[in-house]
Each structure stands twice: as structure tokens, then as C-alpha cells.
Amino acid sequence: MSLFSSASTLTRRAAVAMLTAGLALTGNAHAEGRLRIAEQFGVVYLLLNVARDQQLIEKHGKQQGIDVKVEWTQLSGGAAVNDALLSGAIDIAGAGVGPLLTLWDRTQGKQNVKGVASLGNFPYYLVSNNPKVKTIADFTEKDRIALPAVSVSVQSRVLQYAAAKQWGDKEFNRLDKWTVAVPHPDAAAAIIAGGTEITGHFGNPPFQEQELAGNPHARIVLNSYDVLGGPSSATVLYATEKFRSENPKTYRAFVDALAEAAQFATKNPEAAADLYIRVNKAKIDRALLVKILKNPQVQFKVTPQNTFALADFMYRVGAIKHQPKSWQDYFFQDPATAEGS
């Protein structure tokens, strides 16, 4: 097993163990007005950053007649986030469409996990610093492709989908043996520096853009939009049916806060860039970040878009056992997401 993979697994287990231990002290059940959210790394979580910085959840909670206390935690990889949600350590999970579909499939008839909202449409790039790699067919046993969670993250699922398109559905996991779980910041540092076992990184903004700007040998091998057939919601938020049914006002406040955050990010990309840098203490060139947020391919909206192609693929290759008939099967019905796909 790779050093990166081992470290990531240990980190995930430790993080979830600490979250669960904290939960044991505070009790599993809680009344309306408490909200525990897990986010990950990257600009794709900007709407959560905006909601946190401007206290939009608290604001919309007051409009619902409740005081909402929000607790934030940051994890790496959909596997860690899913573990935290199933353990009861968090209420809202932030991860890719792949981890959502995995948990939706596993919890049917039990926790009944479904999507709450999207965090927007972002193209995800598979970047390589190996001059010999022009397409995914050029990767060999000498290469290692970093992504947040092997066989679980949306990056892993999109890579599998691309492999299936290249070599057929039976070969969908052809590249899995060369993937390793590495947090985005560490993977980006490896791609920019070069000279490590990591020669590919399926990341997200701003890490992919930093790699392209920081290493002249770095190039885009794959764009998620090309695989999925256009703009798509890569990162989403999801929760258990129990949380939604037992906390209707908190849930409503959260979704309304996200919608307001999306409007802010759309109308004020430069202010949103400053906010992201401040909240995350991010060491990123401001001009590069503003360029990312103004990219026409980036769309801030809470309505899920173009998620079903990946869901259908995952069922087709046996990654999930239950066949979704539409995106509405794995998202809660809500006015804010009514026009999804």
C-alpha cells in the first residue's frame, strides 16, 4: 500500500473517531437549532464559506423563529465524510456526487440518506506532470494518480466513467490500481514540485489551477465536463431522512442560506474571492482565484445539474445496487432544487 494511502486511511479513521467521541459527550439526539456540517478542501465549498462568514444560516434560522448553533468540521475525502454522517457525528455532509450515491444506495430502508442541495457546477481537471501522459490511456504502472478517496470520491467515479468510455464498461476500474488517496493540498504540492510518485492529480479548484500555473510540465489530461456531457454538479450536500424530518426549521434555514450565498457569489466574485482567502487562510494568488470564479464554466447554484449520467453509470457497472430512475430518487424534494437533473 502507498504511503499516501496508508496515511490518508489513518487520518480518516482518527478524524472520525474524534468526531464520534465528541458526539458521545454531547449525546446523539438534539433538538432544532443545532447544525453540524462537514466540508472539505477547495473553492467548490465556497457557498459554505460565504454562509459561515456572513452567518447566513443563523440569519435564516431567526426568520424561522429559532436560534441555530452551527458547528463546522473539515475532513478529506468522501469516505471520511460518509463515515462521519453514518456515525451520527455530523448532520450535513459535503462531498461529491459519487459519495452521495454510495450512501444513498447503502442506506435505503435505513437512514435513507439523500441529497439536500448542490454547491454549484465546477469543471474538475485530471492534471499530470508526466510529459508522456496526454490521455488517460498513457498512464502506466509507474504513475500514481492522487484523488481524495479511492473508488468513492466523485473524482474516482468520473475517472472510472472515462475508463469505461475508453475501454468498455467491463474495464471501468482499469486505472483504480494506480490511484491513491491524498488530500488536495498535498497532492497539488506534489504535482507542482514534481519528483514524487504522484504524477497525476484529479482535483478541484483552486488546486488544479495552481498546478497548471506552478509547473510548466503540468497539463490537463481530462475535464469532468467532457466525461459527463457538460456542466454538472460535482459537489453536493446530503443528510439523513431523520435529520430532515426532525429538524424542518433548521433544514429550511440551511437551504435558504445556501441560496443566498449562491446569489452573493454570482454577483460578487471578487468579494467572494477575498472571503475565501480570509476564511480558509488560503495561500493563493488573488488574481488566479478571481479568474476561477469568473470562469463561465463555473456556476453557483443550489439546484443539482447533470448528475444522473454518473448515477446511471455507477448502477450499470455494479458500484451501486439500486437503480435510480431519476435524480429525484437520491435528492430530497425541495422547492430550491425543483429544476434539477
State pLDDT tens for residues 132-154.
999 999 999 999 999 998 988 89
Banded pLDDT at 7 (limits 50, 70, 90): very low
- For residues 180 and 238, state if they share a domain: no
Banded pLDDT at 165 (limits 50, 70, 90): very high
- For residues 114 and 237, state if they share a domain: yes
Q: Which CATH number covers residue 19?
A: 3.40.190.10
Which of 193, 228, 263 finishes a domain? 228
- For residues 9 and 115, state if they share a domain: yes
- For residues 209 and 244, state if they share a domain: no
- For residues 117 and 236, state if they share a domain: yes
C-alpha cell at 314: 455507477
pTM: 0.86
Region 182-194: mean pLDDT is 96
- For residues 255 and 304, state if they share a domain: yes
User: Structurally, how many domains does the chain consist of?
Assistant: 2
With residue 114 as reference, give the H or E element that holds it: strand 114-118
Q: How many helices (H) and strands (E) does the chain have?
A: 14, 10
Structural domain including 264 reads 3-121+232-337
Angstrom distance (rounded) from CA 81 to CA 92: 9
Which of 198, 228, 258 finishes a domain? 228
- For residues 256 and 155, state if they share a domain: no
- For residues 203 and 290, state if they share a domain: no
C-alpha angle 179-184-188 in degrees, rounded to nearest 5: 90
- For residues 106 and 150, state if they share a domain: no
Which of 167, 197, 228 finishes a domain? 228
Is 57 buried (19+), middle (13-18) or exposed (0-12) by CB count in 10 A?
buried
Which residues neighbour 120 within 8 Å (Cβ) at sequence distance 6 or greater?
A: 44, 46, 47, 233, 235, 262, 265, 298, 299, 300, 301, 302
- For residues 221 and 324, state if they share a domain: no
The answer on pLDDT for 9 being more than 80 is no
Angstrom distance (rounded) from CA 195 to CA 285: 24
The answer on pLDDT for 72 being more than 90 is yes
Which amino acid, 187?
A
Go through 87-101 and write b for each residue having 16 or more CB atoms within 10 A of its CB, e for each that does not: ebbbbbbbbbbbbbb
Q: At what angle do helices 78-87 and 3-26 cross, to 10 degrees?
A: 20
- For residues 221 and 284, state if they share a domain: no
